[in-house]
Amino acid sequence: MTSALLTDATILTVDPADRTIIRGWIAIEDGRIAGLGTAASMPDPKRFDMLHDLAGHLVMPGLINAHTHAAMVLFRGRSEGHSLLTMDGWYDTIREPELSLVAADIGPAVALSCAEMVLSGTTTFCDQYFFAEQIAAAADAAGLRAVVAYGIVQLGDQARGAEELALAAAFVQRQRQGRVIAWFGPHAPYVDNDEALLRAEVAMAVENGCGMHLHMAAGPEDNALTLARYGLTATQALALDGFFQGRVHAAHCLDLSPEDIAVFAAAPAASVAHCASAGLRSGRAGICPVVDLRAAGVTVALGTDNVAANNSYDMVAEMRMAGLVASHREGRAQPVSSRDLIRMATIDGARALGIDGETGSLEPGKAADIVAFDMRGPGWSETPDAPTALIYSGSGRDVRHVWVAGEQLVTDRILTRRPFDEIRHEYSATYADFWSRVAAAGKAH
């Protein structure tokens, strides 16, 4: 594999000491970070196949989008004016047309999503949807790192739930290692997956050593159902069902009570994917209690959610939104620092997904998942703090180079594996075909 030396960059290591290295270097060998440091310790450039002079660049770990549904790019712009965090909004604008999806739609859609993600600096994403096989294949073809949670929507049909569970188990057993790994993904507990199915999913996840990714305390129905039935919030009802014994990664979490936060804190591997843009867009008053969760020791990662609920995969924008909404919620200026926002979008995302030994920070021995932002363009200027400049002045569109496992997937803003135009044209044909099928089925919203 090609070795590379990156030089003269401002490097955010996001390692335990959270170092910023000015005019630093990083060596990539055999897909891993072989070393990094200041100019004084730089190895001989002649030893490397590729040299990248990154003066004027910010270099950091690849961003981790901890919650999305990549195939749903097909619904971008199709749910405007509707909340996607209520059963009605989701059912009317997503679920009904979704019934016209076929497996052949997924590859082109996920390819476009992966292209947008990597071009804006995301190197790992956590996905939850059906058609998990096709999503995993498309992520693999794009070269990204991914956790693909096999989505199970039961909606009162027990036979369908059992059938889906068997397929999910087979998927998880096949897709256990490499850049793309498999999890279970019950859509939303109690709302569309019953207790028996949830318990079966937990047992299988624990048995297979994989995680569960789900939506939790996102819409009003989540807690309303369990409060009416058991007098408990969804989080506490799930805890009673043994849900928190394994790895649980919960998206949204807008309505967590102090008791719910205690459940997350006491669990061995529970984390939250805070999707600030999607939460704000829904119009719900609840905002994920990020400050309280972090104070309780809970890992909080950041996600865009699907691009019908967000419209963008830009994780720089998502860091900015998370920072601003935390200020609004807490009633004080910037209770979550820029450095913490960077950690949430990198190492905390990796920790949530159980891959922090492999990615999420720039440390010798870890996979070379690296992004280089060009800080020389408009919108940037001399600044005392690089993380703040990136989050509040920069954008995913400032990404110049991206490596995943040492492979350069973006060079000078261009995809290396497949031309973006080819991906876009294939997607456009799929989009037209899908929506004409939806219209023919009488399900167009």
Tell me which stretch binds Zn ion (CB under 5 A): 111-119, 299-307, 397-405, 436-444.
299-307
Least CB distance to Zn ion at residue 258 (A): 25
For Zn ion, give the closer residue by CB, 305 or 369. 305
For Zn ion, give the closer residue by CB, 123 or 128. 128
Tell me which stretch binds Zn ion (CB under 5 A): 134-142, 280-288, 302-310, 327-335.
302-310
Least CB distance to Zn ion at residue 72 (A): 8
For Zn ion, give the closer residue by CB, 301 or 342. 301
Least CB distance to Zn ion at residue 30 (A): 36
Output the residue with the shortest Cβ distance to Zn ion: 305
Tell me which stretch binds Zn ion (CB under 5 A): 285-293, 303-311, 367-375, 399-407.
303-311
CA distance 397 to 59: 15
**Contacts with 245 (C-beta within 8 Å, 6 or more apart), sequence order:** 202, 206, 267, 268
CA distance 239 to 195: 12
Tell me which stretch binds Zn ion (CB under 5 A): 89-97, 304-312, 377-385, 410-418.
304-312
The 3-class secondary structure across the chain, one letter per residue, is CCCEEEEEEEEECCCCCCCEEEEEEEEEECCEEEEEEEHHHCCCHHHCCEEEECCCEEEEECEEEEEECHHHHHHCCCCCCCCCCCHHHHHHHHHHHHCCCCHHHHHHHHHHHHHHHHHCCEEEEEEEECCHHHHHHHHHHHCCEEEEEEEECCCCCHHHHHHHHHHHHHHHHHCCCCCEEEEEEECCECCCECHHHHHHHHHHHHHHCCCEEEEECCCHHHHHHHHHHHCCCHHHHHHHCCHHHCEEEEEECCCCCHHHHHHHHHCCEEEEEECHHHHHHHCCCCCCCHHHHHHCCCEEEECCCCCCCCCCCCHHHHHHHHHHHHHHHHCCCCCCCHHHHHHHCCHHHHHHCCCCCCCCCCCCCCECCEEEEECCCCCCCCCCCHHHHHHHHCCHHHEEEEEECCEEEEECCEECCCCHHHHHHHHHHHHHHHHHHHHHCCCCC
Least CB distance to Zn ion at residue 67 (A): 6
Site size for Zn ion (CB under 5 A): 1
* Site track 320-349 with Zn ion (rule: CB under 5 A), x = hit: ------------------------------
> What is the separation of C-alpha 299 from the centre of its chain, rounded to a whole number of angstroms?
14
Q: Which of 305, 348, 356, 398 binds Zn ion (CB under 5 A)?
A: 305
Burial of 24 (0-12, 13-18, 19+ CB in 10 A): buried
Least CB distance to Zn ion at residue 338 (A): 26
For Zn ion, give the closer residue by CB, 105 or 305. 305
For Zn ion, give the closer residue by CB, 189 or 387. 189
For Zn ion, give the closer residue by CB, 222 or 305. 305
Site residues for Zn ion, 243-272, by CB under 5 A, read none
What six digits make up the tokens of 249?
């990664």
Site residues for Zn ion, 372-411, by CB under 5 A, read none
For Zn ion, give the closer residue by CB, 48 or 129. 129
For Zn ion, give the closer residue by CB, 305 or 398. 305
Tell me which stretch binds Zn ion (CB under 5 A): 158-166, 205-213, 298-306, 351-359.
298-306
Least CB distance to Zn ion at residue 261 (A): 21
Least CB distance to Zn ion at residue 307 (A): 11
For Zn ion, give the closer residue by CB, 133 or 305. 305
Tell me which stretch binds Zn ion (CB under 5 A): 86-94, 262-270, 301-309, 343-351.
301-309
Tell me which stretch binds Zn ion (CB under 5 A): 27-35, 158-166, 193-201, 305-313.
305-313
Is 192 near Zn ion (CB under 5 A)? no
For Zn ion, give the closer residue by CB, 27 or 188. 188
- Summarize as ranges the residues that interact with Zn ion (CB under 5 A): 305
